[in-house]
Amino acid sequence: MNSRKLQAVALIAASLVAGSAFADGAEYDYPQPVASKLQRADVRADAVRSAAVASDEYQANQYPKADVITASKLLRAQVVAEAIEARRLGLIVEGDGSARVPTAAQLEQVRLAGVQAVSNYHASSARK
């Protein structure tokens, strides 16, 4: 029993001695205040220049905008009829399929479907 007490006392004494040895060499470097050599106006001018450069880079990476936006001269019925005919001929592909190049005959069929739709539109509006 004495040997156990002796071991416990030795362990406690060793931990106290070791703890005080580590605490002695600790030095902390706190952040030091930094004195700026720039004036307030210089900092603001630099921020404005940085924002201008970022804006220029953003604008350079954008798609060009159309100068003039023109309205389509096609009737809705004509566009719909041409799209339906192109889909019927297999020229409009859905999903990941590859697009086909239309032949001259297929292009003519699509055009004629649009012409027919325009003539039907004018005929129906004349009846009213």
Contact 104, 110 (CB under 8 A): no
pTM: 0.45
Q: Between residues 113 and 17, which one has the greater pLDDT?
A: 113
Domain extents in the chain: 76-127
At residue 59, the pLDDT reads 78
Q: Between residues 31 and 65, which one has the greater pLDDT?
A: 31
The residue type found at 63 is: Y
Residue 84 CA to residue 63 CA, distance in Å, equals 31
What would the pLDDT profile of 35-68 be if each residue is shown by its tens digit? 888 899 999 999 998 888 888 887 777 777 777 7
Cite the DSSP H helix spans in the chain. 2-24, 40-60, 76-88, 104-127
At residue 22, the pLDDT reads 52
